Amino acid sequence: MREIIFDTETTGFDPKTGDRLVEIGCVELIDRRETGVTFHAYFNPERDMPAAAEAVHGLSIQFLSDKPLFAARVDELLEFFGDAPLIAHNAAFDFGFVNAELARIGRPALDMARMCCTVQMARKLHPGAKHSLDALCTRYGIDRSHRVKHGALLDAELLAHLYIEMTGGRQIGLGLAASAAPTLSPEAGLVIPRDGARPFREPRPHMASAAELARHAEFVAGLNQPLWLDTV
């Protein structure tokens, strides 16, 4: 199963009041494992950068002034997204900014049904606790010592580690390897390893034999004042 973890940086909190997307970072997961494939882009917001926002992510308008507009890289971004579920921390915020940028250039919005929010997941798993990315990384033992300021790709990578831990950790199933997963033989009704290396063995009997039951009864009869008789 392919999933995309993503994070955004912006000029503020509300695209409806003119705030813009300035950075997006995406990490690809397949079967809850990072593939090493990422997408990262900065965008020229065509406006000033408030000091409060720059203090969070460190992106100045001078740095962003020569970066491409969102429209120039939107096709790359949507191709990377594909039809995969999209996971973000406080996902409504990130979806809101991406969809605002899409609307600005006349492109269809992302389907909100694709949205998975790790904040909502954390609230169900840890009610009453802190649900910031920093707090959850601390809870799950994820190293964030290199996170001095917010950065979309760095935060997406941290969130990928967090999402994996919140959904069962690195080993989701009980199998040790895909090649060792058993298959069924419909004709024989037997479990056969895929590599064919191990022979099938009949299950061991799990009930005591008549001889074993007789020996047990003889042993119990020879006990001197067993404790359970005190309760009879």
89 is catalytic: no
- Band of pLDDT at residue 189, cut at 50, 70 and 90: very low
Residue 38 forms part of a structural domain: yes
**Across residues 56-83, what is the average pLDDT?**
97
* pLDDT recorded at residue 177: 46
Instruction: Please identify which of the residues 126, 150, 161, 206 carries the catalytic annotation.
Output: 150
- CA dist., res. 61 & res. 153, Å (int): 19
Convert the pLDDT of each residue in 194-221 to its tens digit: 455 556 666 666 677 888 889 888 888 8
**Across residues 44-62, what is the average pLDDT?**
96
Residue 27 forms part of a structural domain: yes
Tell me the CATH number at 77: 3.30.420.10
Q: Is the pLDDT of residue 132 over 70?
A: yes
- CA dist., res. 202 & res. 24, Å (int): 56
Q: What's the pTM value of the predicted model, to 2 decimals?
A: 0.72
Q: Is the pLDDT of residue 163 over 60?
A: yes
Residue 230 forms part of a structural domain: no
Residue 49 forms part of a structural domain: yes
Residue 229 forms part of a structural domain: no
For the four alpha carbons of 6, 12, 18 and 20, in that order, the dihedral sign comes to: negative
Residue 219 forms part of a structural domain: no
* pLDDT recorded at residue 169: 77
Residue 201 forms part of a structural domain: no
Instruction: Tell me how many domains the chain contains.
Output: 1
Name, in order, each residue with C-beta under 8 angstroms of 96's C-beta and a sequence gap of 6 or more.
15
Residue 206 forms part of a structural domain: no
* pLDDT recorded at residue 221: 85
Could you list the residue range(s) of the whole structural domain that residue 76 is in?
2-166
* pLDDT recorded at residue 148: 61
Q: Is the pLDDT of residue 179 over 70?
A: no
Tokens representing 183 are: 């298959």
| Partners of 5 in beta bridges | 27, 87
